[in-house]
Amino acid sequence: MFNKKFIIENIKTLFYALIIALVIRSLFIQPFYIPSSSMEPNLLVGDRLFVTKYSYGYSKHSFPFSPPIFKGRIMSNAPNRGDVVVFKTPADNRTDYIKRLIGLPGDTIRFIDSNLYINNSEVLKSKILNKQKIFCGDKIIDVFFFEELLPNSKKHLTVYMKDFTYQNSDIFTVPADHYFFLGDNRDCSKDSRFLSSVGYVHKDNLVGKARFIFFSSDKSIGSFFAFWKWNKSIRFDRFFKKID
């Protein structure tokens, strides 16, 4: 015989737990999974990370399914150049992308001979490793590792292919209330350079700031349930790694 009171209490507990989880996910912190190699070497396929939702304030995209409960952004804070940001792509306002913020409203961005220019000033980059191999989708490409120095003194790692690299571009002028994003894997990233699919990202599309990796595994070696391969598939050295 079923205990009706027991069932009701368990349903209430589950309901409250879901509400609490929804509040935490919407207002404070949300986990994300890295499915592509566009942010290598800083973020790898298989990294799981936490993104703080409160960093830039809140818009409808802070909530699951982006409900139109209000317009614009509330408690808004401007992001900093060099932040690693999760945002909804302007093309569909549904897909989550993660890239590095390079251009602020009013900035001009362009590439000349594979060098990045912000407001007509070259972004200095120092080679720190000679040719190495990283992923670009399912392919392995040869790249050089650089440390880039942004105008606000923020440093980060980027990689460029030795051959067939992104050489030159038109001038991108960032509109008001928009931002320009690039992947750190410069020759293997669909980002703001591709105006038809990503382009300039409105401030209301920002979801949050990437903070740290809490788990990472290499699925090419084995799934999480293949515990006998954990010593090779799980990247223990990436646990709780801060994202710069």
Q: Which residues are catalytic?
A: 38, 99
Closest CA to 43 of 86, 77, 78, 80: 86
Which amino acid, one-letter code, is at 6? F
Rounded Cα distance between 127 and 159, Å, is: 9
Direct distance between the N- and C-terminal alpha carbons of the chain, in angstroms, rounded to an integer: 57
Cis peptide before 151 (omega within 30 of 0): no
Whole-number Å distance between alpha carbons of 71 and 57: 13
